[in-house]
Structures are given as C-alpha cells and as structure tokens.
C-alpha cells in the first residue's frame, strides 16, 4: 500500500492476479458531506466496497465545558450542538433543568415552545431536503427549498433576534413573548401559502423520473436494522417504523394537537428525504392549532433564580427533534453548575449505519446516502 503526502488516495495490489483497490478520502471538508466529516472509501472502480466514517473534526467539548458553567450559561452552548435545529437543543436541556428543579412552565410558554420548534422543524427539513436534491444535481429544487426556509428563519429572527442560534427556550419558559408587529398574522399567512410551495417541491423532485432513478433503492435500511442500530426520527419512520415521541410519549402540550405521523415503506434515500418534506405539512397543522388554542399569560415561571442550584439528583429528558430522539442527561450535586451533562445525539446514532448501507453502491450514491440521513456534525461531534 502506498499513500501520497496528503493521504488522499492509496493503491493496493494483491500478490495474486492484479487487483487494484483505490482508497479515497471523501472530506474532511468536502461540500457534499453536509458538514466536517471524513469518509475513508474503498473503491473497486466506482463501487464502494467499504466506507469508514471518521468524525470528531467539530468536537468542542461542550458537555465538559457545561461542568464549568452555571445552568443558565449552558443554554447558549446548546445552540451550538445541532445549529440547524437550535430550538430543540434549548428545549431538551431546559426540560431536564426544569425536571431537576420541579419547575412548572406556564401554559403560554409551552405553546410558544411548540410553535417555535415546529417552525424549526420546517426550516431544518427544508435544508435537508434542498441539500439532498442538490446532491442529486437538482439545483433549482435546492433554491426553492431554501426560499421556504428563508421565510421561516425570518419569523424566528423577528421573534428571538437571531437567525441560527436562538437562545430562545430557557429553563422556566421562553425569552420573549410574541412581538406586536403582525408576527402572528404573518405566521398564519405562512401556514396558508407554504403547502402549495411544498406541493411544487414534491412535484419537481420526488415526482421527477431522473430523481427517482438517483434515489430509489439507494441505501435501503430495513426496519429491523434501523431499530437495532438505534436510528430515530424520519430516518427510522422512512423504514416503516411508526414511532414519534410527540404522539407516543407526548410532552409539553402535544397531546392537544391532531397530526399524522409520516411513515414510509422502502427505507431508501428517496423515502428518507420525502418523509421530511411530508412532515412539514404536519408541522404547519400543529402550528395553526397552537395559535388557535394559545391564551394570554406568563411566558416564564415566576421566581426563577439567576443562579439555579437544583437539589442533588439525576434526570433524563428526551424530545423529538428534526433528526430524531434528542436526549439530555443531567446530574446535579446541589451546586450552581451541572456535575455532568450528556447529550444523546440522534444524528450521531443515525450515521452509524451509513458505512454498511454504502457498500455495493457507487461513490456518487454514497454522497446521496449521507445526505439522506440529514447529519449535523456539530451535534454528532459535540
């Protein structure tokens, strides 16, 4: 085996008949890997015979840093985990702190959490679906998906003051109430017009014969293998497993809403991406119901101290993020800083099956398979 100075490729020649295997490093900064990840890919011609994912390029030690921050100072750190779904990180962490403290969140704050996190789901899914289309060469599809995402992000920015890392959901409630600048009216208008744009996306890409040829039957994940590997979220449901924490273990006020859980059949790259698109319809349904049901009231629990010091104990809270089951394990020793924080990353777990699924496909298919799992490496590496 010989490697060049950059380690970008290697050639292996057997002792018997001439067999040449090329080892190609995809990444760690390749634009089609949806983040900073390296895939050591063994190729027979263009066909993948082995694919090993190398992660850790975005590791910042956030779980360890949390041990040296107060409970409220940790909230902005959670934004930097899944930075495409910051609201979920805020929420999962805040629920863990609230459980430690025995804090009851005001009802209006719970509704605002649901509204913002379902908006976050639409924004996240539009990035995932648009990028998956771009991986297959559908650039116009990518632009339309990001046009929808931009309108959602604009509403979140008007509410929280930020476009990406929101720091909006806090222990005890949320940072701000709804602004009095027509925000609710604009949100209702978005919920009314977006389904037509989603239908156009569905027609442009998922109804396109070329896109179907590029994605159907690519990276098929069976229901049994998905469950065994701990895959969750749309990547699990695309394999035919009907499981969603919002319905099956309802938290906050999700038990008050009517919505359908989108479930696929084939478990391939096509289904994983399309499930995300169809979930956006359900998120919009939930938002409209939440706006109808929400009543005036407090947005934070009364008497939340600036220095939170929960009694000694441990808790685990999990929610349904855009990528799957996002869990936060917190241990308190009674001080103003967490003794231990551990994050259960759905993107990390979902990626564990990519190497196996890529075998037998071409290297161009590998890019599509990785994108179909919608990984965010800030959350993977932590």
Does a cis peptide bond (omega within 30 degrees of 0) precede residue 115?
Answer: no
Taken in order of first residue, the domains within the chain and their CATH numbers are: 2-54 (no CATH), 62-381 (1.10.645.10)
According to DSSP, residue 33 is labeled: G
Q: What's the pLDDT at 193? A: 92
Determine what percent of the chain falls in helix, strand and coil, rounding each to the nearest 5: 50, 15, 35
Mean pLDDT of 147-175: 90
pTM across the whole model:
0.88
Residue 117 in this model has a pLDDT that exceeds 50? yes
Distance CA 86, CA 124 (A): 10
Q: Are 290 and 111 in contact (CB under 8 A)?
A: yes
Collect all residues with Cβ–Cβ distance below 8 Å to 332 and sequence separation of at least 6. Answer: 100, 310, 311, 312, 313, 314, 338, 339
The continuous run of DSSP H or E covering 40 comes out as strand 38-44
Q: Are 43 and 23 in contact (CB under 8 A)?
A: yes
Mean pLDDT of 176-186: 90
Residue 191 in this model has a pLDDT that exceeds 90? yes
Mean pLDDT of 249-267: 92
- Sheet strands side by side (includes 2-3): 2-3, 9-13, 20-26, 38-44, 47-54
Distance CA 88, CA 95 (A): 10
Reduced to 3 states (helix: H, G, I; strand: E, B; else coil), residue 173 is strand
Query: Which region, left, alpha or beta, applies to residue 172 given φ > 0 means left and ψ of -120 to 50 means alpha?
Result: left
- Residue 371 banded pLDDT, cuts 50, 70, 90: confident
Residue 164 in this model has a pLDDT that exceeds 60? yes
Q: What's the pLDDT at 9? A: 45
Collect all residues with Cβ–Cβ distance below 8 Å to 152 and sequence separation of at least 6. Answer: 119, 122, 123, 126, 190
Q: What's the pLDDT at 27? A: 77
Residue 54 bridge partners (DSSP): 38
């Amino acid at each position: 085996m010989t490697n060049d100075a950059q380690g970008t490729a290697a050639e292996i020649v057997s002792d018997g008949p001439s067999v040449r295997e090329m080892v190609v490093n995809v990444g760690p900064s390749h634009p089609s890997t949806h983040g900073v990840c390296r895939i050591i890919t063994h190729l027979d011609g263009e066909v993948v015979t082995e694919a090993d994912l190398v992660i850790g390029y975005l590791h910042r030690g956030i779980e360890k840093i949390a041990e040296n921050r107060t409970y409220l100072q940790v909230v902005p750190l959670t934004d930097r985990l899944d930075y495409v779904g910051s609201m979920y990180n805020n929420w999962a962490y805040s629920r863990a702190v609230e459980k430690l403290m025995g804090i009851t969140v005001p009802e209006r704050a719970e509704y605002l959490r649901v509204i913002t996190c379902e908006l976050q789901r639409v924004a996240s899914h539009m990035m995932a679906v648009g990028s998956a289309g771009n991986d297959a060469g559908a650039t116009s599809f990518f632009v339309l998906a990001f046009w929808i995402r931009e309108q959602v992000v604009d509403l979140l920015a008007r509410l929280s003051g930020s476009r990406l890392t929101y720091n909006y959901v806090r222990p005890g409630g949320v940072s701000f109430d709804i602004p009095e600048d027509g925000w609710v009216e604009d949100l209702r208008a978005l919920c009314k017009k977006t389904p037509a744009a989603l239908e156009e996306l569905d027609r442009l890409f998922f109804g396109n014969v070329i896109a179907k040829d590029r994605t159907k039957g690519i990276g098929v994940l069976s229901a049994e293998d998905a469950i065994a590997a701990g895959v969750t979220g749309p990547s699990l449901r695309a394999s035919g497993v009907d499981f969603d924490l919002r319905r099956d273990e309802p938290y906050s006020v999700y038990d008050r809403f009517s919505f359908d859980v989108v479930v696929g059949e084939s478990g391939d790259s096509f289904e994983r991406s399309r499930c995300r698109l169809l979930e956006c319809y359900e998120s919009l349904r939930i938002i409209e119901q939440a706006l109808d049901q929400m009543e005036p009231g407090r947005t934070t629990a009364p008497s939340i101290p600036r220095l939170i010091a929960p009694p000694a104990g441990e808790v685990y809270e999990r929610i349904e993020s855009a990528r799957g089951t996002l869990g936060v394990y917190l241990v308190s020793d009674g001080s103003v800083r967490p003794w231990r924080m551990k994050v259960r990353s759905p993107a990390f777990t979902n990626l564990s099956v990519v190497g196996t699924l890529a075998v037998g496909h071409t290297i161009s298919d590998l890019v599509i398979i990785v994108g179909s799992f919608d990984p965010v490496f800030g959350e993977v590496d932590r």
